[in-house]
């Protein structure tokens, strides 16, 4: 998923908002806060957060906080909690229904969790007393279609079928949208795979002069769930503090979206160490891990990358 910020950000700086999010978390003595908890305790509006960071999850990531609930926290969310939040978002957007994409922006829970709990997006809406969502009528770009296929593929942990779209209520766009653009669902999937595979082999490569890019923020591509993986960064850096500046790499540390997707696909959207997958357990968070750490000269190439769940990835860091 890409986050694009609006040009205009108002008077506030990103840091002011992030510091306030950290302050609230610290006061509540927790490393995870939901948007509604923030709204009760924080200084800034949800609109400001959205304008600066796109989504709440992204804001949490940038603040260095946990961006996902634990399995226990997930279990403690009741169906009624989900319905109430859906109704809240419906009021917020002034509608009698809540499209997926609006919920992604404004919801306090993850769309994936709602899908897992209720099977279909529309079931959750109907239970909440809302209208079933219609599909977006706007002109959808090819890239938006690819992004949506990727999102569905990761949510399901398998190739999405046309039934997932017509019956599952999983897609933000109608089956017709995909058919119109690509000539059929199968053709849409083929175009998607071609797009993934047509990644220029050197897309992750860079001139040697720019190789000390550790200062760059690790991008969201590091994890399926849009969560950067600060732990491995810290571990890598801690292991080899002096080599980082001088080590020359052919590739950048960042894993671009297509490469990330190829690694996930090859590893069947499962942790290579323990087999955990978000399709079976929505609390599982997959990271893409450098097998030979980047700080030790490991390159960002598919052969040196593997899918690990956050638990196994943390384990790997502390053992190494």
Identity of the residue, 289 or 299, whose beta carbon is nearer to Zn ion in the bound complex: 289
Told to check if 271 binds Zn ion by CB under 5 A, we report yes
> What is the token pair recorded at 255?
């894993």
- Binding segment for Zn ion among 119-127, 157-165, 178-186, 273-281 (CB under 5 A)? 273-281
Q: Is 290 helix (H, G, I), strand (E, B) or coil?
A: strand
What would the x/- binding string for Zn ion be over residues 214 to 253, using CB under 5 A?
Answer: ----------------------------------------
Measured CA to CA, the distance from residue 112 to residue 58 in angstroms comes to: 16
Distance CA(34)–CA(29), nearest Å, equals: 13
3-class DSSP assignment, residue 225 = coil
**First-to-last C-alpha distance (Å) of the chain:** 31
The radius of gyration computed from the CA coordinates of the chain, to the nearest angstrom, equals 20
Cβ at position 270, least distance to Zn ion in Å: 8
Using the structure block, give the residue that is written with the tokens 């509540």.
28
Neighbours of 231 (CB within 10 A): 15
- CA torsion angle 93 95 98 104 (round to 10): -10
- CA separation for the pair 104, 11 (Å, rounded): 25
For Zn ion, give the closer residue by CB, 217 or 266. 266
Q: Which is nearer to Zn ion, 133 or 310 (CB)?
A: 310
* Interacting residue with Zn ion among 126, 274, 291, 292 (CB under 5 A): 274
Residue with smaller CB distance to Zn ion, 62 or 312:
312
Of 273, 301, 302, 314, which one interacts with Zn ion (CB under 5 A)? 273
In whole angstroms, the minimum distance from the beta carbon of 307 to Zn ion comes to 9
Residues 279-318 binding Zn ion (CB under 5 A) are 309, 312
- Binding residues for Zn ion, rule CB under 5 A, total 6
Binding site for Zn ion (CB under 5 A): 271, 273-274, 276, 309, 312
């Amino acid at each position: 998923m890409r986050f694009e910020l609006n040009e205009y950000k108002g008077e506030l700086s990103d840091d002011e908002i992030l510091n306030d999010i950290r302050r609230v978390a610290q006061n509540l003595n927790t490393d995870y806060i939901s948007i509604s908890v923030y709204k009760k305790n924080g200084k800034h509006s949800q609109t400001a957060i959205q304008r600066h960071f796109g989504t709440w999850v992204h804001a949490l990531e940038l603040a260095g906080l946990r961006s996902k609930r634990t399995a226990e926290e997930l279990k403690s969310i009741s169906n009624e909690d989900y319905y109430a939040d859906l109704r809240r978002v419906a009021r917020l957007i002034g509608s009698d229904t809540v499209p997926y994409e609006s919920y992604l922006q404004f919801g306090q829970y993850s769309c994936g969790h709602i899908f897992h709990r209720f099977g279909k997006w529309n079931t959750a809406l109907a239970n909440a007393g809302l209208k079933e969502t219609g599909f977006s009528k706007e002109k959808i770009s090819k890239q938006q279609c690819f992004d949506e296929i990727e999102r569905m593929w990761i949510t399901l942990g398998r190739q999405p079928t046309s039934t997932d779209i017509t019956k599952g209520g999983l897609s933000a766009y109608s089956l017709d949208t995909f058919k119109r653009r690509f000539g059929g669902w199968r053709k849409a999937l083929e175009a998607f795979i071609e797009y993934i595979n047509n990644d220029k082999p050197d897309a992750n490569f860079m001139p040697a002069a720019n190789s000390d890019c550790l200062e760059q923020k690790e991008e969201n591509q590091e994890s399926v769930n849009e969560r950067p993986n600060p732990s491995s960064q810290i571990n890598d850096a801690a292991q080899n503090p002096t080599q980082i500046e001088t080590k020359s790499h052919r590739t950048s540390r960042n894993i671009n979206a297509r490469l990330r997707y190829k690694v996930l696909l090859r590893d069947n959207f499962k942790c290579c160490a323990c087999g955990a997958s978000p399709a079976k357990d929505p609390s599982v968070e997959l990271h893409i891990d450098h097998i030979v750490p980047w700080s030790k000269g490991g390159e960002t190439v598919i052969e040196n990358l593997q899918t690990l769940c956050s638990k196994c990835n943390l384990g790997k860091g502390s053992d190494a």
